[in-house]
Amino acid sequence: MCAAGVACMVAYRIEHANLMNQQQFLNDIEVNAFVEWLAGFADRLLVDLNINRSARVPTAVVRHVQGFDSLTDTYVWRANWEDDDGTQVDSLCWDSTAQSLARLGKKLRTALESQSADAVMTACEAIFRWGGERNSGRGARPFLNVKHANGQLVDYLVAAREAFSLKRGRLDQLHVIELVNSMLTKIYALASGDGLPIYDSRVAAAIASLVEVYRIETHRDWQQVPGKLLFPTMAAESRRMLIGLHPDALISTGTVMRYQDADMSARWASAKLRLGWIIEDVLRRAPNLLSSQPHSRHHAFEASLFMIGYDVRCLTPNL
């Protein structure tokens, strides 16, 4: 199929998946079946972690665990940021990371409520530092700097928060989201305060791989992954792509999105909101899941996906 044909097919699938709110999405037959499966599977999921040491992972993680609750115990991401009083906030494990994220989220939401663009930009800069911003001259920072300079920063992020609301958001309202990337996905999530996930390359790879495990375990006779369950990945490494999970994975149109794609932000925003809806419904159906840890269950679920997404080959025991 030519490139134009692929683009049209992706656009068609997105268009016909977009005209719905949370309840309409969750009522979809395929979505409902996947959520029901995941609510029961999350405790019996087998994960063989083999994560190399890096700047963010000071000690290699080589562990075999079962279930999302055990995954949060393995969480690691070394990060820091500076609070307004000059205090450095360090985090590494899930407990310290969850506390750090709670502070960052409160800082951003308080700034938005105050309508202070300077305070909002300061909060965003703290999130950039926590998130490991690689190039301050590209991506999220210049985008938000322009909004700040034009007096649009607060209004834009408030509108984005409303569009991404798990309760009120609609897939056909996401046109207000002008840009999504690895830093802005963090900004939008922390601005929300309702459990909206940080949909990054690791989380994307993990949820896409779980849909593939579901397809295999339940013998779904799909020719393409249903659009509502299509979670595009953006990493170039095979360890964060479906083909890295197993060579016969179902690779659907739109499985991968690239930064140069014209519809990247629209697809990223859709995946982010759809994943938030799925997480919320899984937690509703499995009330004991991740209930023993004291932090947001939504973000603990996301943290479990984050650990899976370091290398999706960790899920091969489930195939």
pLDDT tens digit string along 70-122? Answer: 999 999 999 999 999 999 999 999 999 999 999 999 999 999 999 999 999 99
The two tokens of residue 190 are 């922390």
pLDDT cut 70: percent of the chain above it: 94
Query: 0.85 cut: is pTM over it?
Result: yes
Which runs of consecutive H residues, i.e. helices, occur in 229-296?
A: 242-245, 264-285
Instruction: Tell me what pLDDT residue 18 has.
Output: 56
Q: Which tens digit of pLDDT belongs to each residue from 200-244?
A: 999 999 999 999 999 999 999 999 999 999 999 997 788 999 989
Asked if pLDDT for residue 1 goes beyond 90, the answer is no
Instruction: Tell me what pLDDT residue 279 has.
Output: 99
Instruction: Tell me what pLDDT residue 92 has.
Output: 98
- Tell me whether residue 83 is in a domain: yes
Instruction: Tell me what pLDDT residue 2 has.
Output: 42
Q: What per-residue string of b and e applies to 146-165 under the rule 16 or more CB within 10 Å gives b? A: ebbeeeebbebbeebbebbb
- Asked whether residue 71 falls in the same domain as residue 83, the answer is no
Q: How far is CA 59 from CA 66, 76, 140, in A?
A: 21, 9, 30
- Asked whether residue 149 falls in the same domain as residue 239, the answer is no
Where is the domain boundary, 192, 224, 259? 192
- Asked whether residue 147 falls in the same domain as residue 254, the answer is no
Asked if pLDDT for residue 5 goes beyond 60, the answer is no
Q: Which tens digit of pLDDT belongs to each residue from 129-161?
A: 999 999 999 999 999 999 999 999 999 999 999
- Asked whether residue 89 falls in the same domain as residue 187, the answer is yes
Q: Is 61 helix (H, G, I), strand (E, B) or coil?
A: strand
Where is the domain boundary, 157, 177, 192? 192
Asked if pLDDT for residue 13 goes beyond 90, the answer is no
Where is the domain boundary, 192, 217, 232? 192
Instruction: Tell me what pLDDT residue 19 has.
Output: 64
Closest CA to 206 of 101, 133, 74, 313: 313
Instruction: Tell me what pLDDT residue 235 has.
Output: 74
- Asked whether residue 33 falls in the same domain as residue 104, the answer is no
Number of domains observed in the structure of the chain: 2
- Asked whether residue 160 falls in the same domain as residue 90, the answer is yes
Handedness of CA 97, 124, 22, 249 (dihedral sign): negative
* Residue 276 belongs to domain spanning: 19-76+199-318
